[in-house]
Structures are given as C-alpha cells and as structure tokens.
Amino acid sequence: MNNLEEEKLMQLKGEMFENLQINQENYSDNGYVQTLVDVIRKVLEIEHIHFLISKELYKDIQYIVKVKHRYISIIDPYNPMDQQYCESLIQSNEYNKKIILNTAKEELIGYIFLKIEIDSFSSQFWDDFTHIIHHYFKQVFQILVINNEKRRYRLLQSVTNQLHSSIDIDAVLRKVLESLKEIYPNFYFTLQLSTDDFKKSDLSIETLDYTMENSPAMECFLTGNYRIEDDINRKESFMYFPLKGKQGIYGVLHIHANQSIIISEQDIEFIHILAQTAGNAMENARLYQHSKQLIKDLKLITNVSKKLNSILKLTDLVKYIVAELKNSFNAHEAGIVMFKEEYCEVLSGSTTYFYNEDCKSLLHEVKQVLLTKKEGLFLGDVNQSQYRFTSIPYASIMVESIEQDDNIIGSIIVLHQQPYYFSFETFKLFRSLTQHSSLAFSNAILREELEQLVITDYLTKLYTRNYLDDEMKQSMERDTQGVFLLIDIDNFKKVNDTYGHQNGDKVLVQIADIIKEKLITGGIAARWGGEEIAVYLPNYTFEEGMHLAHEFVQLIPKKSKPSVTISCGVSYWSIHQPESPLTLFKKADEALYEAKNTGKNRMIANI
C-alpha cells in the first residue's frame, strides 16, 4: 500500500471519527450514514455509494432508526432474493464495484457498492477500508443504542411519574400508547382490556375475546407472561405483554410489526416494564374510582335511610323509593309488590308497566322464586335464563325481597330493556337499598295496620262512626253533593234468638261484605251501632243514591244466610241544599223510622 493510499485512509478515519466524537450525544437517527457517505465521497472523489447491511448486524438498532436513508438498505446476505438484489445493483450502470464487508473473523456483514471512475487502489487498501467502515458502524451502533437507552429510560421515568399521579384511566392508557409510538414508530399497538368500559374511547382499544381460549392474547392474560410469535408466511411478528398490577391482570398490550423482526432483550424488558407500569397505574386508577363509587353509594344509602325514616305514609314511601331506584340505576321500570295468598298487589306509586296484564306472569314467577329459593334475582338477559317470563319487553332484571319478622312479604323489582345493563356492583347497591327499605316498609305497614284498627270496626271491618263523620265533613267542604244511607237489619233480635248471637254476627259480617263489594268504585261504609250500618256516597246524585239503596234492599235477602231483609233511610245534600253531618243523619234516621213503621224491607228518602 503506497503513501497516497495511507493518507486517504488516515483522512477517511480522522474525519469520520472526529465527527462521531463531536456529535455522539445528539446523533440523529440517520446522521451517521450521511456523515459516512459525505466523507467517503470527499476522500475517494466519487458520487455514487450504497451500503447493504446485514439484518443480523442491524438488529440492535432497527427499532431506533425511524427514517430509512437512501444510501443504506438492510438485507439478509443468505437470502436468495437479497442476493439477486445485490447482483442487480452491480449489473446496473449506477455502480461498478462491490466491496464485501467482513468482520475480523471473516463473518459477512454486508456490502458496499461504489461508482468509481478509475480503481487505482490496491486490494490491501480496500481491506483496510472495509475494516474502518465496519469499525465505524460498530461505534455508531453502540452510540445509538446507548443514546436510545438513555432516551427510553428518561421517557419511562417521565411516563411512570405521570401514570402514578393520574387517576384517569383513559389518560393513563393514552400516555402508554403515545410513549410506545414515540419509541417504536413502525409498530402498531392495541390494548386488549378485560372490560368493555372504553367502547366510546378514541384510543386503539378492544375488549379481550374470552372465547378464544388458545389464542396468544388469552395465554398471555391467563399466565401473566409475554408472548412473541412470527407469521412466516406473511412475514409479520406479533407480541403480547400483560397489563399486570399487584392485584390482577387488566388486559394485554398487543404489538403488531408488519415485518418479521428480531427484538432485543433490552426492548423486551423496556416494553414489559412499561406494560407493567400501565397495569399498576390502571389498578390504582380503578381502585380510586371504586373508592369514589363506594363513597357515593354510602352517601346514597345514608340519604335514603334518613328519608325513609321521615316518611310515614306507605304511598309516599313507595313513590320515593321508585323515584330513587329509577334515578340511581337509570331503570326503565321500578315497582313494589306485596304478596297476598292468591295474588300480587302492586303498590300505588310503581311505574305503569306493573299494572299491565302481561306483567302478571313476571310477578307470579318472581314470587315463586323468592319464596322458594329465599334469595334475590339478578338476570342479565331474561331470554337466556332458566325462568320463563311470558313476552316481557325487558331483558335486565333485579329483584330483592321485602321482609317482615323473617317472612318475605313482598318484593322490589327493577327492569331495563337492554341486556346485561346492570352490573353486579349495581346489584349489590340495589340489595343494600332494598334491605334498608324493608324496615321502612315494615314500619309503614304496621303503622297503617294500627291506624286501620283505630278507624275500623273489629267485627265487620267497616269504618267507625267517628271516621265516617270526619270524611263527611271533608266531603261537604270539598264536593258539590252527596247521599247518606242509614241501613238497619229487620228483626235482628229474632235472628239472634233463633240462630244464636254467633250466627247473628256472621249475618252482620255478610251484609257488611255485600255493601263493601258494591262500594268498590266509591263510597264509605261504617258500622253505626248495633245492627245499623251507614253509607256515605260523595258526589252521588240523589237518583244514584236511591238506585244503590234499592239494590241493597233487593240484594241482601238473596245473599244472606239465613236470609234477612233491611230497611233503609236516604238523605241528600248539595251546594244548593247544604246540610251538616248531623242534620243529614237526622233526616236519614227519620226516613229509616218511617220505613220500619210502614212494613220494613224497603227504602224511604227524606230530602
């Protein structure tokens, strides 16, 4: 090798490594190639140059370089197609010299293609030239790897700080995906999560498919270990990393590379740490959100309990609970049902669906389930359940029992049209609200039963005289007219003497039941004293009152056993003919006295 060749090599080495030393802290992704090309073109006085670098040598930085340089290509020297590509380059007019790049151990690491007008350099020169180039690549790659490691861990530290200070799961996942895309711009990332809470998110998120039991994603999720797979036919690579926290695994980070790759241990470790950091951050965010929800639920239960204890009337209680259930669970329907021996009584204040005819099968089935299994009912989809609710337009159902003295006396039901609308957490809150409501219901029912005892006659279950007086006073202040009937059983002493007082009481109860049955549409019946029964008909016309009195006179002898007749006196008031409860009673009493004295078994009016 002559002096000129030595000078060229010294100049080449000096300028390349000087630039490398100066710029190593801030070397750009492909600046090392440009520096190399510029120095070679200057020293050798050539225009065209191209590097073909072995994939094996390039693997440590293939994820670092973001922009492909026009002077460098990555090849597999032992691949027939890549070998054909090399041959095509040398056969073109653009290059006329191919230099083999070997390591000191004579391992093939690539080729250099040149366009040189006159090749006056010795073979020793070209050997030394390739060693310098190889050494330069090794130095550059080391610098790039080190710099990238620094950049990755600076980013990892920044991401970790941000993730652990965030309570927004969406923000956590967004930061993870952005960080990965910054480090690995040529990869595609998808988060496959174990819940479907992010359907409306604009992030690349999917719900983990539990039906694919043998899929790599499910294996990664179940074992907590990462998986790497290559599709040889399509020349693609897939990686799966678990999003793992301290208490569980929350999904899988799916990475897709549209080329067959060899990923370094450093990259695997980095992605694994980032995925685990994301899993911990998701766990922390979920725990925080869960604690917030628990606090919200506790506040709701506390507020409902306070309100329940302040409501005295059963109808007001039902209206409040139904409104609270609809609002808290965004339910379409909410109802409260009391279980009777032969039927289910829907309490006033329940939503309209519970009064429909097609709801009866649902109420009957609910009653049977609660009384048989002694546990609530939580169905995500009625159509997929073992229970046969006939043609109900709702899919999601929550049911809990109302209990009194350890006995199930009714149920609270919540419905939604959408399948699987209520979560199990929602059901637990629903159960808590129902348990608190049960005590309030028991108290309200006992209170109303006590009030009913005060205002009703113990034998006939008709109202008392005092209650009827109060109702008449309110009606005369509120309504425009009304009719008063005073009924007396004819020859009742004879019934007692003939059949005994016990049978006499039964006759009195029979007549009371007949009267109550006729008053379903309106009217108040009270035991006035002894065998006398009073009936007040608010807003009835005189003619309507007379018609009903005539029905009683005709009906009672037919339905009573032993058969008895009645006498009835009728009085009437209106805004044009005002009366007081006392004067109205006196007029009816006078009419009753006349009916008794003119043959009994009749009705007479006194207006």
* Domains located in the chain, CATH noted: 3-148 (3.30.450), 166-288 (3.30.450.40), 311-447 (3.30.450.40), 465-605 (3.30.70.270)
State yes or no: pLDDT of 12 exceeds 60.
yes
Which range among 210-214, 317-321, 387-391 shows the weakest confidence by mean pLDDT? 387-391
How many Cβ atoms are within 10 Å of 348's Cβ, its own excluded? 11
Highest mean pLDDT among 28-32, 155-159, 251-255, 320-324: 251-255
Q: Which residue has the higher pLDDT, 169 or 218?
A: 218
Give the lowest-confidence range in 52-66, 171-185, 259-273, 567-581: 52-66
pLDDT at 312: 60
Residue 21 has pLDDT above 70, yes or no: no
Whole-number pLDDT of residue 58: 60
Q: Is the pLDDT of residue 501 over 80?
A: yes
* 300 three-state secondary structure: helix
pLDDT at position 393 over 90: no
Query: What local confidence, expressed as pLDDT, does residue 495 receive?
Result: 87
Helices (H) and strands (E) in the chain, counts: 16, 19
- The strand pairing partners of 111, in sequence order, are 52, 100
Q: How far apart are CA 55 and CA 520, in angstroms?
A: 93
pLDDT at 601: 94
Q: What is the DSSP letter of 561?
A: S
Label residue 63 by pLDDT band (50, 70, 90): very low
pLDDT of residue 588: 94
Whole-structure pTM value: 0.46
Given this model, what pLDDT does residue 166 score?
61
Question: 132-146, 442-456, 480-494, 510-524: which has the highest mean pLDDT?
Answer: 480-494
Res 65: pLDDT: 47
pLDDT band with cut points at 50, 70 and 90 for residue 130: confident
Looking at the chain, the whole-number percentage of residues with pLDDT higher than 90 is: 21
DSSP code, position 25: G
3-state secondary structure of 562: coil
User: Which range (25-34, 308-317, 421-430) has the least confidence?
Assistant: 25-34
pLDDT, tens digit (0-9, with 9 covering 90-100), for 30-53: 677 788 888 888 888 888 888 888
Average pLDDT, the chain: 82
CA 27 centroid distance within chain: 50
pLDDT-derived band at 358 (thresholds 50, 70, 90) equals confident
Output the furthest CA–CA distance in the chain (Å, rounded): 157
pLDDT value of position 452 = 60
Do the beta carbons of residue 385 and residue 379 sit within 8 Å?
A: yes
In terms of pLDDT, which residue wins out, 294 or 165? 294
Distance CA 19, CA 194 (A): 51
